[in-house]
């Protein structure tokens, strides 16, 4: 097997990480108390017991209510700093952090509170050994109009945001619903990525749409592309990045999809490994690589390639990439 020290020592980029999914039970309780929010849980065990799900829908039903404890700029800053410290311990040198403004603005927390708190942590990240960036995600189960309004609200903070993504429930919310939003995002200079979740109804059609109509540079998850070898060849040719999350996959589907992740990487696609929502799925990036390595008997070359690919498909500047590669 591949030892953990080898994995941790490799410089890597974490490119698929929802900051709201890093809310550990300890911090949730601390913020609930600080803000006087009654979450109906009073111990770590209570909170852990509530982190119970069998698929994406049941996960999201736990995930959104938990955010109620996030109210102030300091809350968002503390959340992101806790993640960054944990990521640094795993050898993450670059973190591109998803955040869901609509999950906060929809419950009365201003966009400015969210972005100011996260930005404060991003500015402090280099002192922890991490180069950090923010990716604004739209919630695909909300309207395209709400996404467009969120995009417009982000423009005063354009310099703090590297790109946009699309998350939440894919069922009934295909990528073309957001074609105009992503076209506008591209126009203002945001980089583009989108979730194409594992084994969704219409997965392969949605992957075709994001590649041909939306024009993304990366796909979050996306391993169902293997159903269409011509699309795989195209993704390889175009250098499309895939951000795969084995531990998360094993919670929201029947397995970690390790064979698919490895097949895609060995086919020549740029594949990175990430943790998605580590506080909920119980594994940060090192745990994800370790789990995949054990399940698929990865070679050291495989692990090195995954780490290098994560740097290559990151949206860091070229000088930084050259230092890490």
Residue 197 binds: one of Zn ion, ligand ADE, none (C-beta under 5 to 8 A by kind): ligand ADE
Give the contacts of 19 (CB within 8 A, at least 6 positions apart): 76, 79, 80, 83, 97, 98, 99, 118
Nearer of residues 131 and 276 to Zn ion, judged by Cβ = 276
**Residue 183 CB, nearest approach to ligand ADE (Å):** 22
Told to check if 276 binds Zn ion by CB under 5 A, we report yes
Residue 266 near residue 276 (C-beta atoms within 8 A): no
**Site stretch for Zn ion (CB under 5 A), options 43-51, 140-148, 228-236, 268-276:** 268-276
Q: Which residues bind ligand ADE (CB under 6 A)?
A: 18, 21, 56, 167-168, 195, 197, 248, 252, 276-277
Which CA distances in Å does 83 have to 46, 276, 286?
22, 12, 13
| Structural tokens at position 288 | 């994800």
Break the chain down into helix, strand, coil percent, rounded to 5. 60, 15, 25
Nearer of residues 51 and 324 to Zn ion, judged by Cβ = 51
Report whether 276 belongs to an annotated binding site.
yes
Site string for Zn ion, 219-258 (x = CB under 5 A): ----------------------------------------
Alpha-helix residue ranges (DSSP H) falling in the chain? 4-9, 25-35, 44-50, 56-66, 73-89, 101-105, 111-124, 144-154, 179-187, 203-209, 229-238, 246-252, 258-266, 278-281, 285-296, 300-312, 318-324
Residue 131 binds: one of Zn ion, ligand ADE, none (C-beta under 5 to 8 A by kind): none
Nearer of residues 260 and 276 to Zn ion, judged by Cβ = 276
The candidate with the shortest Cα–Cα distance to 80, out of 111, 113, 122, 112, is: 122
Nearer of residues 20 and 276 to Zn ion, judged by Cβ = 276
Report whether 221 belongs to an annotated binding site.
no
Closest residue to Zn ion, judged by C-beta, is 276
Query: Could you count the other beta carbons within 10 Å of the beta carbon of residue 30?
Result: 14
Residue 93 near residue 12 (C-beta atoms within 8 A): yes
- Rounded to whole angstroms, the Cα distance separating 159 from 102 reads 19
**Residue 17 CB, nearest approach to ligand ADE (Å):** 10
Residue 292 near residue 246 (C-beta atoms within 8 A): yes
**Residue 278 CB, nearest approach to Zn ion (Å):** 11
**Residue 169 CB, nearest approach to ligand ADE (Å):** 7
**Local structure of 28: helix, strand or coil:** helix
**Site stretch for Zn ion (CB under 5 A), options 144-152, 177-185, 276-284, 285-293:** 276-284
**Residue 195 CB, nearest approach to ligand ADE (Å):** 5
Nearer of residues 43 and 57 to ligand ADE, judged by Cβ = 57
Nearer of residues 67 and 306 to ligand ADE, judged by Cβ = 67
**Residue 270 CB, nearest approach to ligand ADE (Å):** 20
Interface residues with Zn ion (CB under 5 A) are 276
């Amino acid at each position: 097997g591949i030892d953990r020290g080898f994995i941790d020592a490799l410089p890597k980029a974490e490119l698929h990480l929802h900051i709201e999914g890093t809310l550990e039970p300890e911090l949730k309780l601390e913020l609930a108390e600080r803000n006087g929010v009654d979450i109906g849980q009073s111990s770590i065990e209570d909170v852990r017991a509530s982190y119970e799900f069998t698929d994406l829908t049941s996960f999201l039903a736990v995930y959104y209510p938990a955010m109620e404890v996030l109210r102030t700029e300091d809350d968002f800053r503390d959340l992101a700093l806790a993640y960054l410290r944990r990521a640094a311990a795993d050898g993450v040198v670059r973190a591109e952090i998803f955040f869901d403004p609509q999950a906060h603005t929809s419950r009365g927390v201003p966009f400015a509170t969210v972005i100011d708190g996260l930005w404060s942590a991003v500015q402090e990240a280099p002192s922890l050994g991490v180069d950090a960036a923010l990716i604004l995600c739209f919630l695909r189960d909300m309207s395209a109009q709400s996404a467009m309004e969120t995009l417009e609200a982000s423009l005063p903070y354009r310099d703090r945001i590297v790109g946009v993504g699309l998350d939440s429930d894919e069922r009934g919310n295909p990528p073309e619903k957001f074609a105009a939003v992503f076209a506008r995002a591209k126009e203002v200079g945001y980089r583009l990525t989108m979730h194409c979740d594992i084994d969704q109804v219409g997965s392969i059609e949605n992957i075709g749409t994001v590649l041909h109509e939306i024009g993304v540079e990366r796909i979050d998850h996306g391993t169902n592309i293997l159903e269409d070898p011509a699309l795989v060849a195209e993704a390889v040719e175009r250098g499309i990045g895939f951000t795969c999350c084995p531990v998360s996959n094993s919670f929201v589907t029947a397995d970690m999809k390790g064979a698919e992740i490895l097949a895609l990487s060995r086919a020549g696609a740029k594949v990175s490994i990430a943790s998605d929502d580590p506080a909920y799925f119980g594994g940060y990036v090192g745990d994800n690589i370790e789990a995949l390595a054990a399940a698929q008997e990865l070679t050291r070359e495989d692990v090195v390639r995954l780490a290098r690919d994560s740097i290559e498909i990151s949206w860091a500047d070229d000088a930084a990439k050259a230092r890490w590669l």
